[in-house]
Amino acid sequence: MSGVLDPRTSPPFPIVAKTMLGDSQLRKNVRHATDVIQTKRARVVGEMPDWQALREAGRQIRSHTMENLDFYLEELERNCTRAGGVVHWARDAEEARQIVVALVKESGSDEVIKIKSMTTEEIHLNPALEAAGIHPYETDLAELIIQLGEDWPSHIVVPALHKNRQQIREIFQKKMNLPELGERPQDLADAARMFLREKFLRVKTGLSGANFLIAETGGVCIIESEGNGRMCLTLPETLITVAGIDKVLPRYQDLEVVLQLVPRSATGERMNPYNSIWTGVNAKDGPRNFHVVLMDNARTEILADEEARQTLNCVRCGACQNACPVYRQTGGHAYGSVYAGPIGAILTPQLQEMHHAQSLPYASSLCGACYEVCPVKINIPEVLIHLRNKVVEQKGVSAEALAMKMMGMVFMSERRFRAAQRMGRMAEVPLVRKDGQGVGWIGWLPGMLGGWTQVRDLQEMPKETFRDWWEKRGKDGK
């Protein structure tokens, strides 16, 4: 099914990753895009003498918010309602979808213009809207490419970074009926402008996520580049904003921290081209009806886990994805979720209440690059290890644990150890392949051992063990 990356149905990470590694075009596109963003990020972060102080403030604001989340959500609701907005609460994805579908129907429209929102991707809102006879138009250029290409997002900030201009051109030519379309990026952006402008001016209902909710004012802040966000936020009669309960900030002043951290981390810009901040409804500016849907969807489960709750501090900048050597090789689709890369590896399994996506905490080399670039200092490697523990505990006594026990027995006796080495050398013969230098490698092991070779190759065993060599050497010496 197009447009849906669902952790409940996606195959485990190592399986998909192996396929992705074979797609050299995708790897080239992902590498290029992440290289460009990382270079830009390093430059603009280097300009800031107080970057570490900003990160620390960011971390403290986010942690403080999570500790007082109920207080701030109630304050947000009060202030938003006072300003003419309507606040809705959704326990899970299903409830959120029902509320949004009902609100769109109430608005009298069977079409909506949508800003890029990973939260709506998380809850698979588009298929739900379509099933209810409502057509959603994605208006972010990357999301438009994904929607028209019947593809999946592969990055939190630049969802179509796995596509190059030729691939995008082909999609637009076909879906916008533009056979003469040029292939310069400017031509493609112009085509999107033409294609969407008519929708912006006509469609009466807008749908957005939120970068931040501001408890003190009841306001919403949206960070974007193209202006499609402003179109969706200001032109329709009805605006529906869907946000995770983790998106709240205590005070308006706190924007001074996140508005410095997020653009530099996300796209390597000193400031993104547009930020919109609004509170409720304003009779002379913007929509007349405004709804905020506050969604839990397992976020309170994460909050309850003392060692993993820092996951909720995430501001969705994607810096960890760009820095991650694993993501840079596999791209986003291997993660089986709209949240890919290191943050996806910790967020996705927890959003599934650890029932699915159990391979994701292992989709990391624990190199720490993600921690280093995180603008709010989420210690992703620490959370990864904690979640690996949880996965092991959930699986109970596994075949793996049994095998380890057997290994322990072998190691305890010299006789058994020597026998195992002899057996190993015989057993490996049919599996060893020689490389160009004449070194033998094993790329596939049968059964349970296959887990090891799925993600790494194993060198063949030496012809002679150290013990044999040592003993022989002693004899020859005499």
Q: Rule CB under 8 A: which of 413-432 touch another protein?
A: none
Smaller CB distance to another protein: residue 280 or 361? 280
Footprint on residues 233-252 left by another protein (CB under 8 A): 233-235, 245, 250-252
Cα–Cα distance, 325 to 339 (Å, whole number): 16
Residues forming a β-bridge with 241:
208, 292
Smaller CB distance to another protein: residue 100 or 363? 100
Cα–Cα distance, 127 to 267 (Å, whole number): 29
Cα–Cα distance, 224 to 217 (Å, whole number): 21
Cα–Cα distance, 388 to 398 (Å, whole number): 14
Smaller CB distance to another protein: residue 16 or 123? 123
| Residue 46 in contact with another protein, rule: CB under 8 A | no
CB of 58 to another protein, least distance (A): 9
Footprint on residues 142-171 left by another protein (CB under 8 A): 142, 145, 158, 160-161, 164-165, 168
Footprint on residues 292-351 left by another protein (CB under 8 A): 294, 296, 300, 303-304, 309
Smaller CB distance to another protein: residue 195 or 371? 195
Q: Strand (E) positions, 250-314?
A: 274-279, 289-295
| Residue 71 in contact with another protein, rule: CB under 8 A | yes
Q: What angle do CA 76, 247, 107 make, to 5 degrees?
A: 70
| Residue 288 in contact with another protein, rule: CB under 8 A | no
CB of 320 to another protein, least distance (A): 18
Smaller CB distance to another protein: residue 132 or 366? 132
Smaller CB distance to another protein: residue 64 or 405? 64
CB of 372 to another protein, least distance (A): 19
Among 118, 148, 176, 271, binds another protein (CB under 8 A): 271
Choose the binding region for another protein from 50-58, 332-340, 376-384, 449-457 (rule: CB under 8 A): 50-58
CB of 390 to another protein, least distance (A): 16
# of chain residues touching another protein (CB under 8 A): 95
Q: x/- site string to another protein, residues 83 to 102, per CB under 8 A?
A: x----xxxx---x-------
Assess contact for 318 and 156: CB atoms under 8 A.
yes
Smaller CB distance to another protein: residue 109 or 359? 109
| Residue 185 in contact with another protein, rule: CB under 8 A | yes
Among 6, 12, 14, 56, binds another protein (CB under 8 A): 56
Enter the tokens of residue 85.
Answer: 């907005």
CB of 380 to another protein, least distance (A): 21
At residue 87, the 3 state secondary structure works out as strand
Choose the binding region for another protein from 30-38, 360-368, 413-421, 447-455 (rule: CB under 8 A): 30-38
CA proximity to 351, closest of 422, 300, 294, 413 = 300
User: What's 249's DSSP letter?
Assistant: E
CB of 264 to another protein, least distance (A): 9
Which residues have a Cβ under 8 Å from the Cβ of 208 and sit 6 or more positions away? 114, 115, 117, 222, 229, 232, 233, 239, 240, 241, 242
Q: How far is CA 79 from the centre of its chain?
A: 31
Smaller CB distance to another protein: residue 252 or 441? 252
Cα–Cα distance, 200 to 234 (Å, whole number): 10
CA atoms within 13 A on the CB side of 358: 11
Cα–Cα distance, 391 to 133 (Å, whole number): 40
| Residue 459 in contact with another protein, rule: CB under 8 A | no
Q: How far is CA 5 from the centre of its chain?
A: 11
Residues forming a β-bridge with 279:
219
The b-or-e profile of 166-194 (16+ CB within 10 A means b, else e) is: ebbbebbeeeeebeebeeeeeebeebbee
Choose the binding region for another protein from 17-25, 82-90, 363-371, 407-415 (rule: CB under 8 A): 82-90
Assess contact for 199 and 113: CB atoms under 8 A.
yes
Smaller CB distance to another protein: residue 10 or 260? 260
